[in-house]
Amino acid sequence: MSIRKGRSVTISDVAEAAGVSRAAVSKVIRDAYGVSPGMRARVQSAIEQLGYRPSVAARALRGSSYRLGLEVPHVNARFMTQIMTGAKQAVSGTPYQVILAPADGPEYSTLESLADGLVDGIIAVSPLVDPAWLEDLAGRIPVVMLGRHDTPSGYDTVIGDDRTGTRAIMRHLFDLGHRRIAHLTEPEPVTAPGTGTPHAIRLQVYRECMAEAGLGDLVQVARRHDDSEPARQAAAELVARHDRPTAIVAGHDDIALDALAAVAAAGLRDRVAVVGYDNTDLAEHPLIDLTSVDQQGVEMGAEAATMLLERLQGRIEPRHYVATTHLHVRGSSVRPTSDRAETGGRDQLE
C-alpha cells in the first residue's frame, strides 16, 4: 500500500484521504479528546490504507520524540546488557522506545548529541562527567544517572549498594582463609577517591576491609593500563609477582574475565581465587564459574527507565534508588594454598 516512492506519507495525505482536517487526524493518532466514533473510523482506515506513520522528527520538534536514550561508556560492557534489558522491559507497553548510544570515547559529546533533541530523556552511565555540567544538562532534559553516589538535586540516580557488595566479597574471601588479596580495577581517573564512582567505592571498601582485618600492608592495587585495553596484562603482572596474591577482587566481571585468563594462562586456576562484580551471564558458565556480586542490573535498568517516565510525567523532586546486592559463590572462589612447598598439582586444602 505504499504511495509514491521516495516521499513518505504525511498527516496531510491522511487528512485528505479521510476528508478531514490535519488537526483531526492528529487527535485520532494521539487518542485525544473530542473525536466522534465515525471520524475515528474513517481516519483509522485512511491511516491503514496509506500506511501512515507519524514523523518522529516533527513530533520531537513540537514536543516529544517518545524515545529514551541510554548512554553507556563502551559497546562491549557486558553489564550494559542487563541495564538495557531492564529499561526495555520498563517501557514496554508505553509509547516509548529505548535507543542505545555507546560513547567509546568522549562522553560529553555523546550525551550532548543525545540531548540535541533526539530523545525525551536520558539514562546514562558516565561516572566521570562533572556534576555541575550534569545539573545543567538535567535542566534541559530529564536525566537519570546510573552508578553515581552523589545526591544531586536536578536528576535521579540509580546505584548498587557497592559498600555492602564489596564487604560481602571481602568477608567471603577472609572466610575462605585468604589474606593476600589484591584488587584489580579500572585506571586511576575512574577510581580516584572522592569521585564517588562505584569503582572508587569498591576500592575504598577493599582498603577498609583489609585494614580492619589487620592486613593493611598486604594491600595490592593493580589497574588496567589503558582505558581501552583489557586488564589481562595487568593481571598477568599481578600473578607473576613473587608475592602473588591468593585472591583477586576484580572491579567488575569483564576485568574478572581477564584476571581468570591470566590466572589460567599461568596454570594457577586452582590456586588463585578470582571474584567479579555484576554477575553477568558469563559468570555462571561452567568454564568460567566466577564468583560474583549480583547487583540486579536488570532491575536497575528498569528502575531507571521508570524514573525517567515519571519525570516525563512531571515529577520534579529527585529520587535516588539503591539496588540490593547478592553474592553468588562459584568455583572461582578457591581456597588459598596453605603453603608454598607443594608441587604444581592439585593442592588446595579442604
Partner DNA sequence: CGACCCGTGGAGAACGGTCTACAGTGACGC
Partner DNA sequence: GCGTCACTGTAGACCGTTCTCCACGGGTCG
Yes or no: say if 348 and 335 are a contact pair by the CB < 8 Å rule: yes
Q: How far is the CB of 58 from DNA (least distance, A)?
A: 3
How far apart CA 30 and CA 51 sit, in angstroms, is: 16
Residue 325 DSSP code: -
Identify the residue among 29, 35, 39, 118 touching its own copies (CB under 8 A). 118
* Minimum separation from the CB atom of position 43 to its own copies (A): 19
- Residues in region 32-61 near DNA by CB under 7 A: 32, 34-36, 38-39, 52-55, 57-59, 61
Asked if 253 and 79 touch (Cβ cutoff 8 Å), the reply is yes
Q: Is 117 in the site for its own copies (CB under 8 A)?
A: yes
| Segment interacting with DNA, rule: CB under 7 A, options 22-30, 125-133, 213-221, 310-318 | 22-30
d(CA 58, CA 66): 12
Q: Determine if 226 is a binding residue for its own copies (CB under 8 A).
A: no
Interacting positions 237-266 with its own copies (CB under 8 A): 257, 260-261, 264-265
Evaluate the CA torsion angle 7, 8, 13, 17 in order and state its sign.
positive
DSSP β-ladder status, 291-294 and 326-328: antiparallel
**CA–CA distances in Å: residue 122 to residues 76, 92, 145:** 20, 17, 8
> Which of 30, 140, 171, 285 forms a contact with DNA (CB under 7 A)?
30
Work out the number of other CB atoms within 10 angstroms of the CB of residue 27.
Answer: 18
| Cell numbers for 341 | 612447598
Q: Does 111 bind its own copies (CB under 8 A)?
A: no
CA distances from 81 to 117, 204, 281, 291 (A): 25, 27, 9, 19
Shortest gap between Cβ of 261 and its own copies (angstroms)?
A: 5
Q: Taking CB under 8 A as the criterion, which residues in 44-63 touch its own copies?
A: 53-58, 60-61
Task: For the CB of residue 36, give the shortest distance to DNA in the complex, in Å.
Answer: 3
The listed partner (its own copies, DNA, none) that binds 102, CB under 5 to 8 Å by sort, is its own copies
Question: Half-sphere exposure of residue 298, counting CA atoms within 13 Å on the CB side?
Answer: 5
Q: What are the residues binding its own copies (CB under 8 A)?
A: 2, 5-6, 8, 53-58, 60-61, 65, 67, 69, 75-76, 81, 84-85, 88, 97, 99-102, 104, 112-113, 115-118, 136, 139-140, 257, 260-261, 264-265, 269, 281-282, 285-288
